[in-house]
Amino acid sequence: MGSSRIASVVAALAGSLFLLFLVAPIARLIGSGGAAGVPRLFSDAELRASLWLTGLTATSATLLGVLGGTPLAYLLARRAFRGRAVIAAILDLPLLIPHPVAGIALLLVLGRQSAIGRVLLHAGLQVAGSAIGIVCAMLFVSAPLFISGAREAFARVEPRYEAVARTLGDPPWRAFRRVTLPLSLRGLIASAVVMWARAVSEFGAVVILTYNPKVASVLTYDRFTSFGLQEALPVAAVLVVLSLVPLIILRTLRPEGSAGLAP
């Protein structure tokens, strides 16, 4: 057996073991809790409320991320300016710090004892311990994924197309709306789906900023710590099954043969 043959066998074995490592826990979780998890959707009011809250807050965070992140992504993709690398690094920072640390940082800024938190409370808005806090935590940890993907989507659009629209009399905003946005739309949607999926799965920042009301990830943890593995399994299995939805959407949006979650 030649050296290339041996290398191929070793690579295939290593890849198979790694794939088994990724698939086995998920398959075991669905197998152990899936049969009990689906009926729980009809009998467990707390689970249904938690899933509804998770979807609502993740969608709200995603919409805010798209509104605020799209101009930043376009600026980073199209403009060369002093400090661009610093801004890009700052935008990626929430992906690198531990998420409980992100929750503590948000609590320092938005909590009841902070200056901003007191102003918001005076205005009738409570962040910590509310759905608003959940949205803030989800937005903080997941928006960088959208900005990164949107920046790549804009970068793939040839600038000369915009230049042609400008020579035909379109102002910059109209050239963006008529040319850049349609050409980058699939990438933007895929980036938003990735952000939504990341927001749904967030636990660390959310549990620090808002333990109650409980999103699905916090409910899973709460049932595990309060009642043990058997009570947490059905909730966890439902979350895994629901995670297939954004994956299916991403595979539909991406061209055939492409790989990975990021647009």
**Percent of the chain's residues with pLDDT above 90:** 41
The yes-or-no verdict on residue 256 having pLDDT over 70 is: no
The yes-or-no verdict on residue 258 having pLDDT over 60 is: no
φ, ψ for residue 121, nearest 5 deg:
-60, -40
DSSP for residue 254:
S
DSSP for residue 126:
-
Query: How many Cβ atoms from other residues are within 10 Å of residue 106's Cβ?
Result: 25
pLDDT in tens, 191-221: 999 999 999 989 999 999 999 999 999 998 9
Query: How many Cβ atoms from other residues are within 10 Å of residue 12's Cβ?
Result: 10
Question: What CA–CA distance (Å, rounded) separates 165 from 160?
Answer: 9
Over residues 14-21, the mean pLDDT reads: 89
The yes-or-no verdict on residue 255 having pLDDT over 70 is: no
pLDDT in tens, 166-200: 777 777 778 888 888 899 999 999 999 999 999 99
Nearest Cα residue to 207 out of 216, 198, 197, 195: 216
Query: In whole angstroms, how far apart are CA 243 and each of 19, 45, 193, 236?
Result: 18, 20, 11, 11
Question: What CA–CA distance (Å, rounded) separates 15 from 9?
Answer: 10
- The pLDDT value recorded for residue 262 is 42
Query: Phi/psi class of residue 183: alpha, beta or left (left: φ > 0; alpha: ψ in -120 to 50)?
Result: alpha
Mean per-residue pLDDT of the chain: 85
Long-range contacts of 252-260 (CB under 8 A, 24+ apart): 253/186, 253/189, 253/190, 253/193, 254/190
Domains and CATH numbers, the chain: 3-253 (1.10.3720.10)
Confidence class of residue 238 from pLDDT cuts 50, 70 and 90? Answer: confident
The yes-or-no verdict on residue 25 having pLDDT over 50 is: yes
Higher pLDDT among residues 214 and 241, named by residue: 214
The pTM for the full model equals 0.84
